[in-house]
């Protein structure tokens, strides 16, 4: 089983990318998963994608695929390939409606980096079952162009009363969904490099990957 980590950026570039590649790589190796990490969009071909079970979009941003690469990735997902989006993955491919549906919502903006209280809405999912009923963190609390709750399984939301600048009211931040034969997991968390040294955060992301891959026990 193989995993592709894709971290190309054409807009804002997060300093956490290198730390994310290292942490996810360590997790994959411990589970004997083959891993490739790249920023080269030329890997988005039918032949290359046929070698992997999931593609992790690790804080990608802006326009990262051309039309042929988009077509190859869409075919990969439609035939059961898994998608995992981390942090600014929701700020990628903003003119591609299909990708917006895959992620669940598009990034719209965020207030200043600050601490807040996360509400753990699903304590059975592999991405959140290690957490208590709430989780306090510091991050960029992403605003989205729509609330995805009606279409996805919400795992985490943020209490807007616990920070300044929230505008959504009901404010999901991590969720998953099944799209035909495919699975999609997204978490808006992960702005800072030190997040990937936080065991609870890494377990959150890797639990989402395990679920997307349908690993036993996930």
Question: Model confidence over 83-124: pLDDT tens digits?
Answer: 999 999 999 999 999 999 999 999 999 999 999 999 999 999
Average pLDDT of 160-173? 98
Average pLDDT of 157-162? 98
pTM over 0.95, yes/no: yes
Contact 122, 154 (CB under 8 A): yes
Give 218 or 78, the one with higher predicted confidence: 78
The model's pLDDT over 40-77, given as tens digits with 9 standing for 90+, comes to 999 999 999 999 999 999 999 999 999 999 999 999 99
Q: How far is CA 147 from CA 115, 150, 165, 174, in A?
A: 22, 8, 16, 12
Would the pLDDT of 148 be above 70? yes
pLDDT at 160: 98
Closest CA to 103 of 53, 157, 172, 48: 172
Closest CA to 54 of 22, 17, 15, 28: 28
pLDDT at 93: 98
pLDDT at 1: 75
Would the pLDDT of 218 be above 70? no
Give 131 or 1, the one with higher predicted confidence: 131
Q: What is the average pLDDT score of the chain?
A: 97
pLDDT at 100: 98
Backbone angles phi, psi at 32, to 5 degrees: 55, 40
Average pLDDT of 2-22? 97
pLDDT at 217: 67
Domains delineated in the chain = 2-106+170-213 (3.40.50.880)
């Amino acid at each position: 089983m193989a995993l592709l980590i894709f971290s190309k950026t054409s807009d804002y570039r997060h300093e956490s990318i290198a730390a994310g590649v290292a942490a996810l790589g360590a997790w994959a190796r411990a589970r004997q998963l083959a891993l490739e990490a790249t920023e080269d969009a030329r890997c988005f071909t039918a032949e290359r994608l046929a070698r992997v079970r999931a593609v992790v979009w690790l804080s990608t941003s802006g326009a990262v695929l051309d039309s042929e690469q988009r077509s190859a990735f869409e075919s990969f997902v439609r035939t059961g390939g898994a998608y995992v989006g981390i942090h600014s993955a929701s700020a990628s491919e903003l003119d591609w409606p299909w990708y917006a549906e895959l992620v669940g919502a598009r990034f719209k903006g965020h207030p200043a980096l600050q601490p807040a209280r996360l509400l753990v809405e699903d304590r059975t999912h592999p991405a959140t079952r290690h957490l208590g009923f709430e989780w306090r963190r510091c991050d960029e609390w992403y605003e989205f162009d729509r609330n995805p709750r009606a279409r996805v399984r919400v795992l985490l939301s943020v209490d807007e009363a616990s920070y300044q600048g929230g505008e959504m009211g009901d404010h999901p931040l991590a969720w998953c969904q099944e799209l035909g034969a495919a699975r999609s997991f997204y978490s808006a968390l992960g702005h800072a490099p030190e997040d990937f040294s936080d065991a609870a955060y890494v377990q959150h992301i890797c639990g989402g990957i395990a679920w997307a891959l349908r690993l036993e026990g996930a």
